[in-house]
Amino acid sequence: MTFGYVGIRVKSLEESIRFYTEVLGMKLTGRTKVEQTKGEVASLVSEDGGFPLELNYYQEGSPHAVKYTVGEGLDHLAFVVEDIDEAVAKAKKFGSREILEVRTEKSRWVYVEDPNGIWIELERTLSGDC
């Protein structure tokens, strides 16, 4: 068994695709309408063969289009960036809110919000303690 991808739900597919490609440098690999769920799905990866992030959108009338609250299930998505300040500036220019900065002796990481209110962690290396 292998961990295949993570699927988040989004409020607007266009705006979320724009955030994950323009701010976080991902590439759109596919986009599919799913009749059964009255939904549309977009797949993104950071690099060829990389771990996919799936954006799930449900149109009005879909049984899955319930009220959107971020909730506690997803804590955060983490992205490794070359330059944290540059990445934060890019996110802010997009309209994202900066949530929290954490500094330890060894490292530093910053959380910003995606267009759905999901926390995105930006850090230079995966420190393993956040």
Out of 14, 18, 22, 32, point to the residue binding a second copy (CB under 8 A): 32
Task: Confirm or reject binding of residue 111 to a second copy (CB under 8 A).
Answer: no
Burial class (CB in 10 A: 0-12, 13-18, 19+), 4: exposed
Shortest spacing between CB 29 and a second copy, in angstroms? 9
Q: How is the beta sheet containing 27-34 ordered, strand by strand?
A: 27-34, 39-45, 53-58
**3-class SS at 26?**
coil
Smallest Cα–Cα separation from 43: which of 13, 63, 81? Answer: 13
Shortest spacing between CB 90 and a second copy, in angstroms? 10
Write out the binding residues for a second copy, residues 51-90 only, by CB under 8 A.
Answer: 51-54, 56, 66-82, 87
Task: Confirm or reject binding of residue 19 to a second copy (CB under 8 A).
Answer: no
**Torsion angle, CA of 30/25/121/42, rounded to 10 degrees?**
-10
Task: Confirm or reject binding of residue 5 to a second copy (CB under 8 A).
Answer: yes
Contact residues: a second copy, CB under 8 A: 1-9, 24-26, 30, 32, 34, 36, 41, 43, 45-47, 50-54, 56, 66-82, 87, 102, 104, 116-118, 121, 123, 126, 128-130
